Every structure is written in structure tokens, then in C-alpha cells.
Amino acid sequence: MPLFTPLFRRDLTVAFVALLLLLAWDASDLDLLLVRHWADAGGFPWKERWITARVLHEGGRAFAWVVAAVLLVNVKWPLWREQTRRERIWWICTTFACVIVIPLIKRSSSTSCPWDLAEFGGTAQHVSHWAFGVLDGGPGKCFPSGHASSAFAFLSGWFALRRAYPRGARWWLAGVIVAGAVFGFVQMIRGAHYASHTMWTAWVCWMVCTLAARWLLDGKRA
């Protein structure tokens, strides 16, 4: 089987185009401009609001675990009956791989959250997350967005469903993108993350799924 299958090329093309757009975003300084709309010298008013902190942050994370539980059930008792057992196992395993990879990247990040910036009442200075080794004076460990991975980890569903349920896969993909955008927006207005942190989480999860699908899923399908 050739290395670059049509599906793999398409998935990599999506990743490459998204990467170019992300790099352009990072160079634009729009991250800081956006968070300034939601904060003042006293901090972020939406940080501890019930709708953002409890419903959309904690509630969103709880809902993600419910979906993960459904995928676990799907391994033993198929909910999508046209899927193969390999696809079902791949789906849940790749989802958890995405959930694990994002915190591993965050752990080594020196980038602090927006609510840690001095202009919003913290101690940090704004430093690009690409300025490796340059400390911003804050606690760091804020890049990329962990909460957004509660949605974007489920990009795996697009890959797991597209053979047997192409239309369902498109709906699943749309739902994950919407959920991830909502989670990212909530974390931005709370001061927990910049918009780019959410975008990079989506990109990393897409790449994890793309590589896992090529080596562990699509080849076996063929």
C-alpha cells in the first residue's frame, strides 16, 4: 500500500492549509487584541460567571466524559452497526490519545494565560508561545488549550465514521468544530486562553487523528 493514500493526502492538505492560517494568525497579534475586549485592569469579569465557569466550562468537560463513555460502550455493543470493531476501538483510543497529548504539550509550555498578564492584574508580560525559552514572568503551562481538547479530541469521529457513514461523519465533524469553538470562546472571555490556543489544540488533535488513521486504520481497511 502506498505511503500517501488519497485519504492521507487530503487529511495532510487540510492540516497544511490550517497550519499556514495559524502561523498567519500568530503573526497578527490578534490574540491580545481580542482578549482586551473582555478584560480591564481588574481582570476578566466573565471568569467566574455561572454560565461560563460552571455550565460551559465544568459542564462542557462533564459532557465530554459522557460522550467518551458512549464510545466505550460502542466498542462492546455497537451503536453504529456498520462500523468494524477495529474502527470502534480506534475511535476511543485515538480520542484518549488526543486528550493525553495536549496536557503533555502544556506541561512544557512557558506561556502564561491571559488572566496572568500584568495589564489585567497579574504579573506576566505578553510573550509569543513561539518564543521558546523566553519566560513571561507568569506561571506558564497555558499553551495549548486543554478545555478545547474536550471537544477537539472527538475529531476522531470524522475518521472513524467516514467509511461507513460519510454523511454522519460530516455532521459529527461539524458538531465537534462548533463545540470546540464555543469552548474556546468561553475560555477566551474568561481569560484562560487566547484564541490561538484553541486553534492549535484543534490542529494538534487533527494531526494525531490523521497519523493514527494512516498507520492504524486506513491501511487495515484496504
Q: How far apart, in whole angstroms, are the C-alpha atoms of residue 85 and residue 87?
A: 5
Residue 41 DSSP class? T
pLDDT band at 220 (very low <50, low <70, confident <90, very high): low
37 secondary structure, DSSP code: T
Q: Does the bond joining 144 to the residue before it have cis omega, within 30 degrees of 0?
A: yes
pLDDT at residue 147 is higher than 80:
yes
Q: How confident is the model at residue 217 (pLDDT cuts 50, 70, 90)?
A: confident
Q: Which pLDDT value is given to residue 190?
A: 98
Whether residue 153 is predicted with pLDDT greater than 60 in this model: the reply is: yes
Would you say residue 183 lies in a domain?
yes
Element (H, E) at 130: none
Q: Tens of pLDDT along 56-65?
A: 999 999 999 9
Nearest CA-CA partner of 140 in 110, 116, 161: 110
User: What is the number of structural domains in the chain?
Assistant: 1
How confident is the model over 185-204, as a mean pLDDT? 98
Structural domain that includes position 139: 6-221
pLDDT single digits (tens) 105-115? 999 999 999 99
- Is residue 31 within 8 A of residue 190, CB to CB? The reply is no
Q: To the nearest whole number, what is the mean pLDDT of the chain?
A: 94
Q: What is the pLDDT of residue 1?
A: 59
List, for residues 88-124, the tens digit of each pLDDT value: 999 999 999 999 999 999 999 999 999 999 999 999 9
Chain segment 121-136, per-residue pLDDT in tens: 999 999 988 887 789 9
In a domain, 1, yes or no: no
pTM above 0.85, yes or no: yes
Average pLDDT (43-61) is 97
> In the structure, what pLDDT confidence band is assigned to residue 219 with cuts at 50, 70 and 90?
low
pLDDT range class, residue 222, cuts 50, 70, 90:
very low
Q: Which residues contact 108 (CB under 8 A, 6 or more apart)?
A: none
